[in-house]
Homo-oligomer: A and B are copies of this chain.
C-alpha cells in the first residue's frame, strides 16, 4: 500500500526530530520565552525581510485561523473568504464560535477574484441597510489554496490596495506556504507576501514539522496583548520551545525552502506522469496537491494499492481524487504510484 492521501502522514522531517532529541534534556522557560523561540523568530524576520515583524507560534491551523481572526476583528465584523476557504468549510465553525460570520464569495479554482471582492465591498457600503448587516472586516485567502492554486503577485497587490482602501487587514493562510513559494512559474516571493499582507503564517504541520504554525505580522502593533489572547484561546503551548526548535530548524540552512522544492519536484514528476498517461486534471495545480478525474471502475481497483483522498463526485461514473506529495515522498513512491495508474 502506498500513501498519497495528504502531506501530514509522517511524524517530522528527520532534521527536526534530531534537534528535538538533542535538546531534550535542556531546561528552559515555558510559553515561548526561551532562546529557541527567539532564534526562530529572528530567522523568520530575516527570511521575510521584515526586521520589525512580530512573530508568534501556535500549534495548529484551525486554531491559528480562529485566533488571528478573533484578535483582529471587531465584534460587528466578519471575514471575507472564498466559499471553499478552509475557514468556511472544514473548521467546524471555529470562526463563528468566536462570534464572527464568514462572508463567502464564489471561488475560482479556490481563489477569490479581487474584482469580486471589490464589488462586494462597494456594494456593501452602497446598500442603505448596511448598518444592519455584518461589516466586512478582513479578507482571508489561502496560498496555496485548498485546490493547490496560487495567487499572482498582481492579485495580492490588488487585494492589498483594496484592503488599504477599506482599512481592513489582508490575512494569508500559509498552511502550505512552502509549496507555493517553490512552485514553478509563481512570481510571489516571501517579500511579496510580507509587503501585501497584514498578517500571514508559515504552516509547519503540513511542511515537515510535528505541528506548529508561525504567525507573522510584518508591521508590529496590529493587535494588542496577542500573547494573552493566544493563551485564552487555549493555543499557548506550555513547552513553547518545541515550536521554537522546529521553526528554528526549518529556517536554518534553507530547510523550509528545500522541503518546498523537493515536494514540488515530486509533484511535478507525478503531474508529468499523469499527463503522459492521459489523465484528466480537475484543475491545473502548480503545487503539491494534484486533482485528477478517474473512472469509478479504475478507482475500485486503485484503492487496493493506493491511499488517496476522494475530493468530490465528478459525474455518475467519475470521481475527483487528490494525490499529495510531501518532504517524505520519494521518486520511487511516485514511480510506484504511476505504475498502478
Q: Taking beta carbons and an 8 Å cutoff, which residues of A are in contact with B?
A: 3, 6, 8-12, 14, 17, 20-21, 23-28, 30, 59-64, 66-67, 70-71, 74-76, 78, 89-94, 96-102, 128-129, 131-135, 205-206, 210-211, 224-225, 227-229, 231-239, 241-242, 310, 328
Closest CB in chain B relative to A6 CB, distance in Å = 7
Closest CB in chain B relative to A28 CB, distance in Å = 7
- In the docked arrangement, what's the CA distance between A294 and B27, Å? 24
Known interface pairs A210-B239, A210-B242, A224-B74; A92-B231 also in contact (CB < 8 Å): yes
**Other A-B pairs beyond A9-B28, A93-B133, A131-B225, 19, CB < 8 Å:** A3-B27, A11-B20, A11-B25, A11-B239, A12-B24, A14-B24, A59-B60, A71-B75, A74-B225, A90-B133, A91-B132, A91-B232, A93-B99, A94-B234, A96-B100, A96-B101, A211-B237, A234-B234, A234-B235
Contact between B63 and A78, CB atoms less than 8 A apart: no
- In the docked arrangement, what's the CA distance between A227 and B129, Å? 12
Q: Among A10, A20, A97, A241, which residue has the most Cβ atoms of chain B within 10 A?
A: A97
Contact between B27 and A92, CB atoms less than 8 A apart: no
Residue of B nearest to A128 (CB): B310
- In the docked arrangement, what's the CA distance between A100 and B21, Å? 41
B residues less than 8 Å from A11 (CB atoms): 20, 23-26, 239, 241-242
B residues less than 8 Å from A225 (CB atoms): 74, 76, 131, 135
